[in-house]
């Protein structure tokens, strides 16, 4: 059985090979090809274009898809898998995506062709959760602003929130979306003594330590709101001007998920007018941020360049996690993260 994996700058070929190596015990022949970029920034730009425009938005070098006719398992992280690839890959039975989102795959076409699409939920959950906690603290305690001031020779003690600098103990933190990342954030914040509430209409099982509430209650009650929902057509601009207006004037908004969850222009307006206390953002509608972007001029924001999930541990773990999912799928086990409800029909020679 042939598996083709497309590595990239974040998960290079050597890490991809090492992570997928255990599949040799399942009779899988692994080939790794590298999608080359000049820099991590160039890869991030391509990824953003794909997230916003779909798998057809960014063309891949033709050599990456050479011989697709004989590939039964395709593994990608950010590389797009357009419908034309699927029409070419007559033997393809499984697409494995090395992250939670599958925006880079023509899932509808795959489903129509009976191709199973797997994702890797939670693969960088700890990385994003830890960065989220860091951004919360950086914004409410003015850590980044103080650091920048000292580097420029200023001993600053006056900030936009100087009259309302809080401790997290006893404060209410609202989590929008309550998947793997948010649950880790919730447990971290319990150690700070925070009260945790969450909004997630798809949440299943025991939500402890969070209490599930409506979005309206979360907006009105939270001192910190942190976004962890997956972006879909249904929740684009989930937080717009009306929702931001329902937040406490002393509240802080944190986004390490997807920029499209928030109306960025409305957020800028709310921050400029002081309708909310501040924001900490790792994701933006346009990346890298243009030098004239208003967020760069606001004194009540902490911003980072889309790095929340980027740790060496997350990148090393991802191929190993997916290899485990694929091994269970090959063994016919049920508990596998299939996103399109299609179980593969293996050819007779490989069944």
Average pLDDT over every residue of 116-121: 94
pLDDT of residue 126: 95
On the CB side of 326, how many CA atoms lie within 13 Å of its CA?
33
Nearest C-alpha neighbor of 247 from the set 270, 268, 226, 276: 276
Global pTM value: 0.84
Q: Which domains does the chain have, with CATH numbers?
A: 2-123+311-350 (3.40.50.720), 125-303 (3.40.50.720)
267: Cβ–Cβ under 8 A, 6 or more apart, which residues? 239, 244, 253, 279
Nearest-10 crossing angle of helices 143-151, 125-140: 70
Cα–Cα distance measured from residue 351 to residue 342, given in angstroms and rounded to the nearest whole number: 16
Q: Which residues are catalytic?
A: 258, 287, 306
pLDDT bucket at 52, cuts 50 / 70 / 90: confident
Average pLDDT over every residue of 23-47: 93
Cβ distance 69 to 322 under 8 Å?
Answer: no
Q: How does pLDDT run across 234-268, given as a tens digit for each residue?
A: 999 999 999 999 999 999 999 999 999 999 999 99
Nearest-10 crossing angle of helices 125-140, 180-192: 40
């Amino acid at each position: 059985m042939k598996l083709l994996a497309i590595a990239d700058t974040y998960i290079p070929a050597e890490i991809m090979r090492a992570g997928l190596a255990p599949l040799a015990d399942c009779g899988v022949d692994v080939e790794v090809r590298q999608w080359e970029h000049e820099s991590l920034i160039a890869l991030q730009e391509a990824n953003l274009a794909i997230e916003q425009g779909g798998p057809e938005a960014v063309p891949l070098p033709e050599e990456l898809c050479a011989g697709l006719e004989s590939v039964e398992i395709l593994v990608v992280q950010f590389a797009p898998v357009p419908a034309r690839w699927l029409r070419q890959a007559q033997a393809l039975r499984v697409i494995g995506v090395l992250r939670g989102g599958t925006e880079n795959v023509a899932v509808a076409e795959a489903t129509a062709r009976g191709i199973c699409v797997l994702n890797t939920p939670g693969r960088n959950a700890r990385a994003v959760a830890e960065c989220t906690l860091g951004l919360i603290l950086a914004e409410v305690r003015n850590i980044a602003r103080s650091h920048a001031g000292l580097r420029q020779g200023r001993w600053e003690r006056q900030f936009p929130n100087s009259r309302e600098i809080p401790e997290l103990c006893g404060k209410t933190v609202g989590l929008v979306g309550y998947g793997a990342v948010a649950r880790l954030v919730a447990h971290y914040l319990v150690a700070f003594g925070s009260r945790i509430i969450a909004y997630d209409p798809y949440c299943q099982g025991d939500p402890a330590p969070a209490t599930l509430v409506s979005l309206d209650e979360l907006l009105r009650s939270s001192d910190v709101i942190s976004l962890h929902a997956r972006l879909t057509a249904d929740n684009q601009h989930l937080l717009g001007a009306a929702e931001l207006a329902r937040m406490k004037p002393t509240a802080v908004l944190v986004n390490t998920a997807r920029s499209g969850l928030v109306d960025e222009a409305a957020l800028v307006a709310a921050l400029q007018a002081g309708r909310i206390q501040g924001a900490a953002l790792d994701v933006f509608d346009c990346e890298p941020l243009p030098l004239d972007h208003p967020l760069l001029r606001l004194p009540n924001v902490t911003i980072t360049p889309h790095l929340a999930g980027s740790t060496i541990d997350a990148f090393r773990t991802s191929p190993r996690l997916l290899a485990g999912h694929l091994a269970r799928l090959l063994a016919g086990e049920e508990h596998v993260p299939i996103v399109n409800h299609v179980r593969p029909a293996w050819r007779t020679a490989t069944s």
